Every structure is written in C-alpha cells, then in structure tokens.
Amino acid sequence: MTSTQVSRILFEEKRAVGVEVIDKKGNKSDIRCEKEVILCAGAFQSPQILMLSGIGTEKELAKFGINTIIDLPGVGKNLVDHVWSGVSAWTRTPTNNNTLKPWNQITELTRYLLFKKGPLGNSPLTANAFLSSEDGMNRPDIQFHLAPSGIKDDYSTDIYDLKTYPWRSGLGILVIVIRPESRGFVGLKSANPLDAPLIQPNLLSNKKDLEVLKKGMLKAKKVLESKTFNGHLDGGISFPQQFDDASLEQHIKKSLETLYHPVGTCKMGVDAMAVVDPSLMVKGIEGLRVADASVMPTIISGNTNAACIMIGEKAADMILNQKLSVRP
C-alpha cells in the first residue's frame, strides 16, 4: 500500500495481531494478520514504531502518554554508523567536474543515451580499498572510496548539490571508519507517528574513532602523494591544506559525514539491552519480528546492503521452517 504510514502495532495482551496505518488523506485503518507482524522499517523507524506501540523504556514512553506494553530499555539505543572525511586534489586529467560544464553535460548525456558509455554510466565512487590504521591489526578498520570529483577547499561544496561543485577537475579519497566505537540513539519527538523520530548519532563521541580517522587521512595523503598520481595531479593536495594534528582534527569536524549505514537500534542478543532474540522475535512479545539493519548488534566492516539482504533471507527461512498458530 503506497503513500501509507504505519502508525503503531496492534496487540491483544502481549501478542501482535496487526498494524494501524494512516493513508495520505490522514484516514486511519487497521490491518489484521493471521500469523505475525514483521517490522522492516530500518534503524530509525523500526524503533520509532516499536516505541509508538508501547515497546521501549517505560519512563521515556510515559513522557508522551504512551502506555507500555513491555519495558525494553534497548529500543532505540546502540545506534551506530560509518563516518568519513576526505582528502582532495586538483587534477590535470579530466574528471567528473569537467562533465559539469554545460556543453559537456549535453555531450555526455547524448553519449550515454546512445552508447551507454561515459561518466554518466559510472558510479560516483569508482574504487574501494580496505586497510588497517596501524600495523599488527587482524582485520581492517578503514575503507577508502576513490571519488573522481573535486570539491572546493573552503567547505562550500555541498556533495548532494551539483551546482556547488567546481568545474575544475579534481578527485578525492573518502576515508571511512568501518569499526566505529561511538554510539547514539533514536527516540521520540512526540506521539504523532507522522513526526520524524529524534536521531542523535553521537558521532566521534568515542575519541578512538577520531584517532583512527586521523591516521586514515594521513594514509590517504600518502596515496595521493605517491608516484602513481604524479602525472595526474595539478599541484599537491588542496584540501585539507594542513596535516598537523590540530588542523586535521578541525578539518574532520568541519567535513564529517555519515555513510548512511545506520544499524543497531533493535539489536539482537540475549543481554538486558537486546530487543530481539536470535530468531528476530521481539523479546516478551508473541507474533512480532524485526528484520532489518536495526537488529545488527554491531556494525559490519563494510557496506550494509548485502548484510540486510541476508537478514531478510534468514528471517524468511526461519519463518518458513517454524509452525505458527493461525488465529481463528
């Protein structure tokens, strides 16, 4: 059902029996299920829907007049995401920036439509590497993305707005912390399901993440200053301009971005802060399962897409291989 928002899960005692939804006209209706409700709204809205339905910390729910079905303190906690900053340089070799010139936009669009070739057929990130921030580690803690696009050296480029990119060709290396220690949370702003949830990522709240990121930036600097790039760069590294510890920290805090891999807010486990058990069933509730990135207890060391597909397929396998009572 498109243009429809789930407002809350419906319960009979402590068993999920369906969901309440709101259509685009604001009308509410109930949808009943015969077996179970499977919540797949992601790391932000899955905990929001649980809290709106009365599953969460009793004290926090009471602030919004929501009756507690079951007190689960882990709902919305343990939010974690990959974060990154970057190193950029201008190039003699044409990159995506050159495509932004009006005539080149027409040329490259025609080239793509006719032959499916050229920069419009490429990803904005064209290469990846996994590496360790220091020697002796048993697995990587940093990921590099090579971006064939240059940005201005004054923090004025909005990477989501092509109008703010320079036409001068450049490239950058995105330095990503793939095993962050910082943890945030998702909460409620109100009891209105149409309001966005409260999202507090607490990025870099653990100082270790900042230190790992600084080490990664220095490694990216070393890559761009290698012989491989000598014939392509137009001058040295342009952004950041200084790599001493204080300047690097300031640059990171001004440019820090997430990689949009939020996980962990309905984590799976057997401890007191776990929200779902190993079969993805919400603890203390019958007929309610969560199957999305929110169930990851910790973030994986890479992109979350394939892991989310795996969670969905594993959930489907568990559902198909268990006997569920059908409601009369």
Q: Is 141 exposed, middle or buried (0-12, 13-18, 19+ CB in 10 A)?
A: buried
CB 66, CB 137: distance < 8 Å: no
Residue corresponding to tokens 């068993």: 15
Active-site residue, 145 included: no
Q: Point out the catalytic residue in the list 82, 145, 251, 261.
A: 261
Residue found by looking up tokens 């994986």 in the block: 300
Q: In sequence order, what are the residues at sequence separation of 6 or more whose Cβ sits closer than 8 angstroms to the Cβ of residue 235?
A: 89, 90
Residue 16 CA: distances (Å) to CA of 38, 58, 95, 164, 284: 10, 19, 53, 48, 11
Helices (H), 63-143: 96-99, 102-115
Classify residue 174 as exposed, middle or buried by CB count within 10 Å of its CB (0-12, 13-18, 19+).
Answer: buried
Q: Which residues are catalytic?
A: 261
